[in-house]
Amino acid sequence: MDATAIEIMKTAFPYGQFTEVLDTVVIDVPEDKLHGTLARLRNYPDLDFSLLLDVTAVDYLHYPGHTGDRFAVVYTLRNWKKNRLLQVKSRVADPVKGVVSATDLWPAANWAEREVFDQYGINFKRHPDLRRILNHWQFQGHPLRKDFDIENRQICLESDSLEGPIKERLAQNGVDESTIKDINTEVMFLNLGPSHPATHGAIRILTALDGETILANVNEIGYLHRGFEKTAEQRTYNQIVPLTDRLNYCSSMLNNIAYVKAVESWMGIEITERAQFMRVVLSEFYRIQDHLVCLAANLVDMGGLTNYWYLYNEKEASYDFISRLTGARLTSSFTRIGGMYRDFYEGWEVDMENQLKDIEKGISDCLALVLQNRIVHERTQNCCAFPGETALAYGFTGPCLRASGVPFDLRKDAPYYNYEAFDFNIPVGTNGDIYDRMMVRFEEMFESMKIIRQAMKMIPGGPVFIDNKRIALPSKNEVYGNIEALASHFKLIFDGIQVPKGEWYDSFEAANGELGFHFVSDGSGQPYKCKVRPPCFYKMGGFHEMVEGEMVADAILNLGSINIIGGELDR
């Protein structure tokens, strides 16, 4: 972060302790000053941290050398215009009393704090709706606490009715009890999901309808909560790579790369040039895959099944390339800390170029049906529009934020892997409606292809793995040939790569937006804590604002257009 910003903050928060970790500034503040600090950071025009990226907590129960309060909460903020990344951290003296909620500052904090409450049992005062979010309502205990047994399985006998939250939301929107009951204005409750073809996974959308217009909407997630973060605490760093495949399973490689990049940047590992270019090529290729599935499904929801074949068949064809490269179709697990699992195969350039040509054809075929299509226009334009300011306040990132006219993209604003060397544009929308979100995705695919073609020309030769015995596995010949290599192999497999003690946050522009990882390491081979900042989670948190006042059929299209992926949403 620039020195002026730090100066401003040091004057504004004399009680804070400032540290710099990677490109993040961390301010430790006392518990009673937390809300005040956050409010100034949000509202002070010089600081202008308009984007709340994530809220999480750390349980220091078993952390070596830790004294004092057991819990701490961490708010990760970003000033997207000036590329300032900030974490505000505060100790929590008593989790039952908790800290003051930041929901009044950023609506994004609503769901984020609910998750912290659910996973760590930390209370947030003045939070409007502090309920469990990932775990079911009959669940006892808080899974990410260090004294919670990972095998403490708890059966859920029936789903939550959500009657309370929907009535509350109706009241907030000015629909009172007598209107609900009156025969002329009677409200109909319609439940969509969690097993519904249009929910693209397992999400429950409960709406209160007046005719077909949505008066109020509440959503429930967590149906695909698979305990990623708790499981990751029991694995070595490299063993987590396959788990990351299953976050956003439409673009598994992007998660693989984001994850290892986060660990590498903390360890100060500079991967080889060739590996960097490989990662760029593959990231962009997977970004296209992700957008293809999203648009294909979105157009099916609209009734345009032909587009599904045009777009999805290209994805299916891309699996040939992907499985030749990685050995798997969907779950690639292709990165390792320090490089790539292996190099491209001989002749990959030809395959890739053919693949890109086919994708271009598929997209043009689809666009020929969509671009001038009046039905598509009328169903999507000015529908579920979300202005840029609101989108930021809800923590939107990625294509959905850009569709609302905010040109924030980490590849431009905080470039990594030589992205500054590539010539590409960031497509932005104007209204933030469904049409913009779809078109931004279409355009991004063309931009990604541009990047791939440039990277293919520039990619240098050389190894794809760094030469460091503490990180890279020795070759099999050496393992079978000499004792040092055998011992090193054994240590790397059983103990894992030793990551220095500390806490850090690192982010990556995934297909859906900013995919961040917040790690706490105790110096061992397994992370003490590994929190994912999933882009989907925050988009779903703003869903009710987008659809209220719209038709129920538009809500379906809207859900498709924000591309919710259950694995990433619920982890």
Minimal distance in Å, beta carbon 545 to another protein? 25
Contacts of 130 (CB under 8 A, 6+ apart): 101, 113, 114, 117, 123, 124
Other beta carbons within 10 angstroms of residue 467's beta carbon come to 10
Dist. CA 254–CA 274, nearest whole Å: 17
DSSP 250: T
Minimal distance in Å, beta carbon 240 to another protein? 11
Do residues 74 and 56 lie in contact, with contact meaning Cβ atoms separated by under 8 Å? yes
In single-letter form, the type of residue at position 393 comes to A
CA angle 265, 266, 269 (to 5 degrees): 50
- Smaller CB separation from another protein, 306 or 482: 306
Pick one of 156, 368, 375, 493: the residue that binds another protein (CB under 8 A): 156
Minimal distance in Å, beta carbon 558 to another protein? 19
Judged by CB under 8 A, the stretch of 190-198, 360-368, 412-420, 527-535 that binds another protein is: 190-198
Nearest to 217 by CA among 566, 523, 545: 545
Determine the 3-state secondary structure of 406 from DSSP: coil
Pick one of 11, 65, 68, 157: the residue that binds another protein (CB under 8 A): 157
- Smaller CB separation from another protein, 150 or 171: 150
Residues 275-314 that bind another protein (CB under 8 A): 293, 308-309, 312-313
Give the count of residues interacting with another protein (CB under 8 A).
Answer: 48
331 counts as binding another protein under rule CB under 8 A: yes
195 counts as binding another protein under rule CB under 8 A: yes
Greatest CA separation for the chain? 85
Pick one of 159, 173, 390, 498: the residue that binds another protein (CB under 8 A): 159
- Smaller CB separation from another protein, 18 or 319: 319
194 counts as binding another protein under rule CB under 8 A: yes
310 backbone φψ class: left, alpha, beta (φ>0; ψ -120 to 50): alpha
Judged by CB under 8 A, the stretch of 222-230, 429-437, 467-475, 549-557 that binds another protein is: 222-230
Minimal distance in Å, beta carbon 375 to another protein? 23
Do residues 29 and 37 lie in contact, with contact meaning Cβ atoms separated by under 8 Å? yes
**24 sits in which H/E element:** strand 24-29
**Cα end-to-end distance, the chain, whole Å:** 31
Residues 38-67 that bind another protein (CB under 8 A): none
Minimal distance in Å, beta carbon 561 to another protein? 18
Dist. CA 306–CA 365, nearest whole Å: 10
Q: Hey, what are 350's tokens?
A: 């030809």
Other beta carbons within 10 angstroms of residue 79's beta carbon come to 18
- Smaller CB separation from another protein, 499 or 565: 565
Nearest to 403 by CA among 561, 259, 571: 561
Do residues 481 and 494 lie in contact, with contact meaning Cβ atoms separated by under 8 Å? no
Minimal distance in Å, beta carbon 241 to another protein? 12
Dist. CA 267–CA 453, nearest whole Å: 31
- Smaller CB separation from another protein, 304 or 474: 304
567 counts as binding another protein under rule CB under 8 A: yes
Pick one of 164, 197, 387, 481: the residue that binds another protein (CB under 8 A): 197
**505 sits in which H/E element:** strand 502-510
Residue with tokens 């998660």: 255
- Smaller CB separation from another protein, 312 or 442: 312
Pick one of 57, 224, 292, 515: the residue that binds another protein (CB under 8 A): 224
Judged by CB under 8 A, the stretch of 46-54, 195-203, 346-354, 464-472 that binds another protein is: 195-203
Q: Residues 235-274 vs another protein: string with x where CB under 8 A?
A: -------xx-xx--xx------------------------
Do residues 514 and 108 lie in contact, with contact meaning Cβ atoms separated by under 8 Å? no
Dist. CA 546–CA 542, nearest whole Å: 7
- Smaller CB separation from another protein, 181 or 329: 329
Pick one of 201, 399, 516, 542: the residue that binds another protein (CB under 8 A): 201
Residues 126-155 that bind another protein (CB under 8 A): 134-136, 143, 148-155
Beta strands in 93-182 (DSSP E): 99-100, 124-125
- Smaller CB separation from another protein, 231 or 498: 231
Q: Hey, what are 211's tokens?
A: 């005719």
- Smaller CB separation from another protein, 11 or 140: 140
- Smaller CB separation from another protein, 267 or 565: 565
Residue with tokens 């055998």: 486
Minimal distance in Å, beta carbon 328 to another protein? 9
Pick one of 127, 225, 529, 533: the residue that binds another protein (CB under 8 A): 225
222 counts as binding another protein under rule CB under 8 A: yes
Residue 420 main-chain phi, psi, to 5 deg:
-65, -20
- Smaller CB separation from another protein, 149 or 346: 149
560 counts as binding another protein under rule CB under 8 A: no
Q: Hey, what are 313's tokens?
A: 């068949």
- Smaller CB separation from another protein, 3 or 155: 155
Minimal distance in Å, beta carbon 228 to another protein? 8
Residue 498 main-chain phi, psi, to 5 deg:
-80, 120
Q: Which residues bind another protein (CB under 8 A)?
A: 134-136, 143, 148-159, 194-197, 201-202, 222-227, 230-231, 242-243, 245-246, 249-250, 293, 308-309, 312-313, 316, 319, 329-331, 566-567
